[in-house]
Copies of this chain bind each other. A is one copy, B any other.
């Protein structure tokens, strides 16, 4: 049996600053951007796309970091690993995450590429299309894992986006092994349909061998198991992981454990402004519930409530105190 954990959740992911702007659909066509997806771009493309970008605003982002910020706002004790550069955007990212209360001590990269940024084009239908320059973040590796923090975290939550680099894949496996040896749980989000397609065997290896809690949207789960039958995919994930939460946009979400299934309706909201961070904040709500050993349906409700907050405004970090929004007490 593990000692009491110092952190409820440790997140590991790409440390990214979002550059977010409203665009018309024609902009996506002109700039050859795949709608509602995440595309990796190099530094030259990042510069030329930014030159073409409308006036924007900058907010700290990164999928797992958004989840960690949400968890902190819910009242959870959190930590984060991710690689920024020693530059202005890196300082912004670090400030914004630490200001949530998260412990974040990954050493910034010196004399290398700059801090990662994600150019997010938000169309009038509230869909976000992301072009990401990974920069310093792509150099995250095993050396950036702080073993003691992993051992001290009840759940280590990892972001599939990081899977585009071999060093990060190795780091994930290593982190999962440290967590398991310490009697802790591991969680993974599949992050992106195309990312799953690019790295299916690695994802299956990780999910089957090392992951207790899996997050995915419907399309990602179907892609992982190469099926178009949702029920079959659910059967497979139930076999592979102790717990899974699968989001289905306006159809809500499905949470499953070994012997339970909960169907959660999406929380209706007045006006969807920007879907950036919806999945990340859903994960925050669910992980909060799991960390407090709440019933499956309550975990799903929390995910649904905080996801609804994030899509009602620009950016992927909550503007409201999520603890109050969810009607949680200070002690969870």
Report whether A317 and B55 are in contact in the complex, using a CB–CB cutoff of 8 Å. Answer: yes
Task: Say yes or no for A54: interface residue by CB 8 A criterion.
Answer: yes
The yes or no answer to A50 lying at the interface (CB within 8 A) is yes
Chain A 40-58, CB-CB to B under 8 Å as 1, else 0, gives 0000000000110111111
Judge whether A319 is part of the interface by a CB distance below 8 angstroms.
Answer: yes
The winner among A58, A96, A99, A319 for most chain B CB atoms within 10 A is: A58
Q: Counting CB contacts under 8 A, is A60 at the interface?
A: yes
Q: Are A55 and B96 in contact (CB under 8 A)?
A: yes
In the complex, chain B residues whose CB is within 8 Å of the CB of A100: 55
If A55-B99, A57-B57 touch, does A22 touch B319 (CB 8 Å cutoff)? yes
| Interface 9-residue window, one of A87-95, A245-253, A283-291 | A87-95
How many copies of this kind of chain does the complex include? 2
A-B contact pairs, 5 of them (CB 8 A): A22-B319, A55-B96, A55-B317, A56-B96, A58-B59
Q: How many residues of A contact B (CB 8 A)?
A: 26
* Bound CA–CA A97/B69 (angstroms): 30
Say whether A314 faces chain B, with CB atoms less than 8 Å apart. yes
B58 touches A58 (CB 8 A): yes
Q: Which 4 A-B pairs have the closest CB atoms?
A: A88-B88, A58-B58, A57-B59, A55-B96
1/0 per residue, CB under 8 A from B, across A45-79: the answer is 00000110111111110000000010000000000
Q: How far is the CA of A58 from the CA of B96 in the complex (A)?
A: 11
Residue A315 interfacial (CB < 8 Å): yes
Contact of A60 among B55, B60, B95, B313 (CB under 8 A): B55
CA of A99 to CA of B69, assembled, Å = 31
Neighbouring B residues of A96 by C-beta, 8 Å: 55-56
- Using Cβ atoms and an 8 Å threshold, which residues of chain B touch A59? 57-58
- Which of B60, B88, B314 contacts A314 (CB under 8 A)? B314
The answer to whether B54 touches A99, judged by C-beta atoms less than 8 angstroms apart, is yes
In Å, the complex CA distance between A117 and B313 comes to: 23
Minimum CB–CB distance from A78 to chain B (whole Å) comes to 13
CA of A95 to CA of B46, assembled, Å: 13
Which single member of B50, B57, B69 contacts A55 (CB below 8 Å)? B69
